[in-house]
Structure 1
Amino acid sequence: MNAGRGPERKYAPDFLTELFQNPLDPGYSDAAASRRAGRGPTGWRRSSIRVVTLVTLVALGFLLALAYRQTIEGEPGRSQARAGLVAQIKQRESETDQLARRADELRGDVNRQRDAALSGSDAARLRDLEAATGLGRVRGDGVAVRVADGPSEPDAVTGVAGTNLGKVLDRDLQDIANALWSAGAEAVSINGQRLTATSTIRAAGGAILVDFRPVTGPYEVSAIGPSQLERKFRNSGAAALLRQVAAEHGMSFDVRGADDLTLPAASEPQLRYAVPSVSPSAPGSPVPSGTGPSNSPASPGAGKSLSPSGGGR
């Protein structure tokens, strides 16, 4: 005994020394000891696990084979339906083109009869107004802008065509048309479709529609205007953006001057206006239901005969 001294100190073993002496976690040691002692899953348990695994694999294989067979059997029907839809679309497009040609012929007959009924100055003024509004065919010098989709690069791993950043979008055609109008164009058409103040350029699925009629690439935007039209368009922001897309993503973009362009007439718009059903009533008398003034935007000028004036268009 050590008289006058406190209890003897006990030092814990060093952590690093303990780690090197017992590198395995106690839980793993117990599991290994259990396997060595034969306390693992019994034979019937191992057999049950194997049977369940086998049944699961067989069921998955059966389901995959069934799905593949149904896909193969349904492919001819889908192909036939797709082919039928394509044939119907082509037939409707052919009928639409025939009706458009017939409408042009009838419009020409109406114009000739109208010119014969009007005096020379009135007929000339009407033709000028039609040309300005897009309802008459025009001819002159201008510029032609041609754009086409860039090549589609397939994915390096899957081989499937990815997103084509060089594809022509509906807003590209909108930007080109707006830039041409801003540069002084007097008439613009896209693939032979004349643009007017009410024309629309939009996308529907994978197609671009101009006035609800599909147009396909390459797209050619033709414009008639003054001699500086080409220079102003080349210096526009829309042309600079398309040149950048063409350089980076392979879109085809070309601008050239064109002589003696002929742009067709646009289809006549469907005008909607209101007509009063009764004559105006005397002050203070009740107004019959449904015959009062309309609050719709088309009501101003309803029932009036409009004639050309010296004011703006």
Structure 2
Amino acid sequence: MSLITNVMDHSLDDGYAEAARKKTQGEGGMPKTLRAKLGLASGLVLAGLVVTVGAAQARVAAPGVAKERQELIDRIDRETASADRLEGSVDKLRNDVGARQRAALKKSGGSERAADLVGVLSGATAVHGPGVKLVVNDAKEATTGGDGTNPRETADFSDNGRVRDRDMQRVVNGLWASGAEAVSINGQRLTALSAIRAAGDAILVDNKPLVPPYTVLAVGDGGRLSTRFQNSADGLYLHALEDNYGIRTAISTESDLRLPAAPSVIVRTAQPSTEKGTS
């Protein structure tokens, strides 16, 4: 009973009661004394001064920042133009090398047609003609899990919806085996010296990273190439990836595909060093 009586007598907390008393008596709120008012005014002036100085400094620094940004843009433009000029020079030199190769082959007894064929097969010259366009892309929603019996469900394939380097290797090899005369991936021409590897989740073609979707162009007899590839083991493998893991694919025959020349078809071999090692 004493607890109930105490609650009834003190229904309002003491802190709330004290605050209500001060409010009714005019205490609290704005400072009453001159010293307190001066302190508040000084604080407001100081805050305003800080904001004003900050704004002034930002305005003074703005032209310098804009100048640095413009200088960076100009530098990027200059470097881009320089890269474009170098790329054009590379194209001219590549054409010159191709012409000299054809002339040398013809002089040695071969025909110009044979020289052109060698250039196409080696990837040294750009080509165009009918063929197949195959687009391979990651699944919209990748899945994980599995008991490890499937190679795509091991630790190396934790994300089953992603296209892997070995997938693209099988695609390219399947197209070659189906009769492709020239192949490229995302504009990268493939040759007998090309390598398709992985660096983390990225797929590299000749050490250049590619970004999905992966567009594979293969020059050849379009209808026959498409049918043979889709009926091959590699085509069925790609179809299984689509059914089981949601990897998206689209294949079509094209009347005119254009593939660039390979950046380099120079065969480099290691040579033993003639210098004696020091212990």
Same fold per superposition (TM over 0.5): yes
State which of 241, 244, 249 in structure 1 corresponds to 2:247.
241
Match of residue 157 from structure 1: none
Q: Tell me the distance in 1 between the aligned counterparts of 2:68 and 2:273.
A: 56
Q: Specify whether residues 290 and 20 from structure 1 end up closer, same or farther in structure 2 by C-alpha distance, changes over 3 A only.
A: same
Q: C-alpha displacement at 1:113, in angstroms?
A: 0.4
Confirm or deny: 8 A CA contact 2:132 2:226 kept in the other structure. Answer: no
In structure 1, give the amino acid aligned to 2:218: A
Match of residue 193 from structure 1: 188
For residues 121-270 of structure 1, the aligned pairs below 5 Å read 134-135=123-124, 141-145=130-134, 177-178=168-169, 180-185=171-176, 186=180, 187-190=182-185, 192-196=187-191, 197-199=193-195, 221-224=216-219, 226-228=225-227, 231=230, 232=235, 235=239, 237=241, 241-242=247-248, 255-259=251-255, 261=257, 263-266=259-262, 267-269=264-266
State which of 17, 37, 41 in structure 2 corresponds to 1:29.
17
Q: Tell me the distance in 1 between the aligned counterparts of 2:167 and 2:259.
A: 17
Q: C-alpha displacement at 1:222, in angstroms?
A: 1.0
State which of 262, 266, 271 in structure 1 corresponds to 2:268.
271
Q: Equivalent residue of 1:24, what SS?
A: coil
Match of residue 107 from structure 1: 98
In structure 2, give the amino acid aligned to 1:51: S
Give the structure, 1 or 2, with the largest relative contact order (CA under 8 Å, sep 6 or more): 2
Confirm or deny: 8 A CA contact 1:140 1:260 kept in the other structure. Answer: yes
For residues 62-101 of structure 1, the aligned pairs below 5 Å read 62-101=53-92
Confirm or deny: 8 A CA contact 2:129 2:219 kept in the other structure. Answer: yes
Q: C-alpha displacement at 1:87, in angstroms?
A: 3.5
Which of these two proteins has the greater Rg computed from alpha carbons? 1
Confirm or deny: 8 A CA contact 1:143 1:230 kept in the other structure. Answer: no
Q: Tell me the distance in 1 between the aligned counterparts of 2:106 and 2:7.
A: 108
- After TM superposition, the structure 1 stretch with the greater mean CA deviation from structure 2, 215-224 or 182-191, is 215-224
In structure 1, give the amino acid aligned to 2:253: G
Query: How many equivalent residue pairs?
Result: 230
Confirm or deny: 8 A CA contact 2:135 2:215 kept in the other structure. Answer: yes
Q: Specify whether residues 69 and 108 from structure 1 end up closer, same or farther in structure 2 by C-alpha distance, changes over 3 A only.
A: same
Q: C-alpha displacement at 1:96, in angstroms?
A: 1.3
In structure 1, give the amino acid aligned to 2:270: Y
Q: Specify whether residues 174 and 68 from structure 1 end up closer, same or farther in structure 2 by C-alpha distance, changes over 3 A only.
A: farther
Could you list the runs of 5+ residues in structure 2 that have no partner in the other structure? 138-161
Q: Specify whether residues 237 and 131 from structure 1 end up closer, same or farther in structure 2 by C-alpha distance, changes over 3 A only.
A: farther
Q: Equivalent residue of 1:223, what SS?
A: strand
Q: Tell me the distance in 2 between the aligned counterparts of 1:194 and 1:202.
A: 18
Confirm or deny: 8 A CA contact 2:175 2:218 kept in the other structure. Answer: no
State which of 264, 276, 279 in structure 2 corresponds to 1:289.
276
Q: Equivalent residue of 1:221, what SS?
A: strand
Q: Equivalent residue of 2:45, what SS?
A: helix
Match of residue 156 from structure 2: none
Flag the structure with higher helix content: 2
